[in-house]
Amino acid sequence: MLKENPDITDLENYLSEEFRSNSSMTFIYGRARSATTILEISLGQAADLTYSQPFTSTLQELTGGTNAIIDEEVYKQALMDLSRSLDQVKEETGKNSVSVVVKEVNGRLSPAFLERWLKIPNYTVLAIRDPLIQTMSLMRQKAIGIFHLDAPPPRGEFSQDMMTVIEDSIVNDGLETPYLQFQEEKWQTFQDDLRIMERLGVQHGVLDTTLMRLNPSQSLANLYNAMGIGEVDIDSCVSGFSSNQIRFFDKMDRNRDTVRKAYQSDSILPVNDTEAVQMSTFSRRAQDSLRRILPVYTDFMLSSSNVYLPSPTEMRDQALGAKDGVTLSNAHPVTYGAAMLANTINS
């Protein structure tokens, strides 16, 4: 049992011991707008508890914002809340051993706190996504606050002038960082986080969420195999999602725009031919920033810990949507190019 008035070390030891001797934790970690929520919900179908963004939600709860780096108070409170949720689900299920999925976006934890946290999960999944799609999704989300909208503007109505205003905006991270610089730095930090995991010997795997959606059953089977978890009902992790309120815990508003669509989904939606974003959509300075991010994304795809790479034939020939001849190779050139390079190098 957790001791009364625990300090940070007590909480870390309690969780570490629990997940080493009785229960298990899978940690999903990725850039914002990288389809981590749908991955969380998917893996949550085979878990007893899914806890969404414990550090971000606690940061928002204690400071009113989400862009600052987490300090000791926030870190401790997040661990405390997770410990209490773990104890609660064990009591409610009557199980001594439970499986837990925790999701968080990168850039919240400093390297020092991240190193401490990474010693707790049994396995960490690093979720990646084409930076052009991911950046466009982030900018459309940011447009809600800047232009006082009720929802992200449709792509056809997201003008270059609106994008320029967002590019010129300042992120409220305590450092007044320009928006494009902030996003670029978070990708670089994400790469640094991967190096931390490799140095610490943390069990981890990389999963591109677009490739996951190309073949959900195989990609998830590969992931569970990498985690050393057998006897999972993969079909239930692909479709027919349960919305059990006890299983999925999110301290923030579940109806917030950034996660509403994922929470309302009952399956992993297949890749379609309308999602990809062309480089020419962005301004020249945004293009320059993305060209610096693309090698980071490719580095993840090339990682030896990548758990799912479709065959070149599958990526070239599997139809996307109803249009003849539309495949990953011509509808998602960034993902396709990085995956083909990885296939070539790893063959």
Does any domain span residue 3? no
Which residue, 9, 75, 85, 30, is CA-closest to 248?
Answer: 85
Structure tokens at 66: 């989400």
Is 137 in a helix, a strand, or coil?
Answer: helix
Q: Could you tell me which residues come within 8 angstroms of residue 279 by beta carbon, excluding any fewer than 6 positions away?
A: 132, 287, 290
Separation CA 306–CA 320 (nearest Å): 23
Positions of the chain with pLDDT under 70: 173-175, 243-246, 252-260, 321-324
Site of tokens 């899914």: 50
Does any domain span residue 64? yes
Does any domain span residue 133? yes
What is the domain range of residue 259? Answer: 8-346
What was the pLDDT predicted at 256? 65
What was the pLDDT predicted at 258? 59
Query: What one-letter code names the amino acid at 275?
Result: E
Does any domain span residue 130? yes
What was the pLDDT predicted at 36? 94
Strands (E) in the chain, as ranges, are: 24-30, 49-52, 99-105, 123-128, 170-171, 177-178, 204-208, 248-249
- CB contact at 8 A, 127 and 51: no
Does any domain span residue 105? yes
The mean pLDDT of the chain is 90
Which residue, 51, 49, 41, 120, is CA-closest to 89?
Answer: 49
Q: What is the CATH number of the domain that holds 198?
A: 3.40.50
Which residue, 137, 140, 132, 182, is CA-closest to 298?
Answer: 132
Does any domain span residue 167? yes
How many CA atoms within 13 Å lie on the side-chain side of 79? 29
CA distances for 63 relative to 189, 215, 227, angstroms: 23, 40, 35
Does any domain span residue 101? yes
Does any domain span residue 38? yes
What was the pLDDT predicted at 347? 73
Query: What one-letter code names the amino acid at 197?
Result: M
- CB contact at 8 A, 26 and 125: yes
Question: What digits encode the pLDDT tens for the residues 143-199?
Answer: 998 999 988 898 888 988 999 999 999 887 666 788 899 899 999 999 999 999 999
Q: Could you tell me which residues come within 8 angstroms of residue 299 by beta carbon, excluding any fewer than 6 positions away?
A: 191, 194
Question: What digits encode the pLDDT tens for the residues 216-258?
Answer: 999 999 999 999 998 899 999 999 887 555 577 777 666 666 5
pTM: 0.94
What was the pLDDT predicted at 296? 97
Count structural domains, the chain: 1
End-to-end CA distance of the chain: 49
Is 59 in a helix, a strand, or coil?
Answer: helix
